[in-house]
Amino acid sequence: MRKSLKISLIAIFGALHAVLYLLSFGLWRNWAIYIETIEGIILGPQAGFLAAFLGSLIGRTIRFDPLWIFGIVAEPISVLTAGLLSRGRWKPAITVYSVMLLAYFAHPFGRMLPLWTILDVLLALVTIYPAARLSNGLYKAGLNRLSVSLILISFVSTATDSLVRIFLLIPAGLYTVFSDFGTFLTLQAIFTVAALSSYVEDVLVIVVTLIVGVPLMIVLSKLKLFQQEK
């Protein structure tokens, strides 16, 4: 991708990320999660991370969120993961993911909270490798392979967003900083409701990614504006 084009796309996706955050309502995460997969695939891991970070930072500067740290960290890492997988790079993705997941289970709360609340996170762990292998050379993929690749990448990147927030909340100890979480019982109640919403969001992100991502990827491959860098 030409440098000038990449800079322009970072600005465009950063602005779109911020706008989606500002327009958000409904489930526990903001609407920016619906473009995280596409950001990572189109921009790549580094540029995608930067666009998501700038967008999440600008959005929360305009409309302050008391829990701002979760989104500003989780959203760029989710985009980074999507960018890595779309380039066939599964090792750094699975390493970071595994460290966060192990830290969760090493914490007493991670062993006390219901296992069903993170089933999507556990499933995503074993999906990382096939997602990366299938998605290598994504811009040259046929329709069927492209659709399956987008499903896998969007699922893993959305689960990564969840896992980063969980990691910050429990192993990193932010539950002690924010009064919203209070006691363990309060934390458990919030965590359970968030988990239910998370499963709905997993499905919605996949649907949006397929509706928007498949035709977009087909157009971009025909225009030959992008080279899938490693």
Q: What is the pLDDT of residues 124-173, one digit of tens each?
A: 999 999 999 998 777 776 788 889 999 999 999 999 999 999 999 999 99
Angle at 36 between CA 125 and CA 97, to 5 degrees: 25
Between the two ends of the chain, the Cα-to-Cα distance in Å is 12
Round to whole Å and give the CA distance between 129 and 229. 19
pTM (two decimals): 0.92
What pLDDT is recorded for position 144? 85
Q: What ranges make up the beta strands (E) of 57-107?
A: none
Compute the radius of gyration of the chain from its Cα atoms: 17
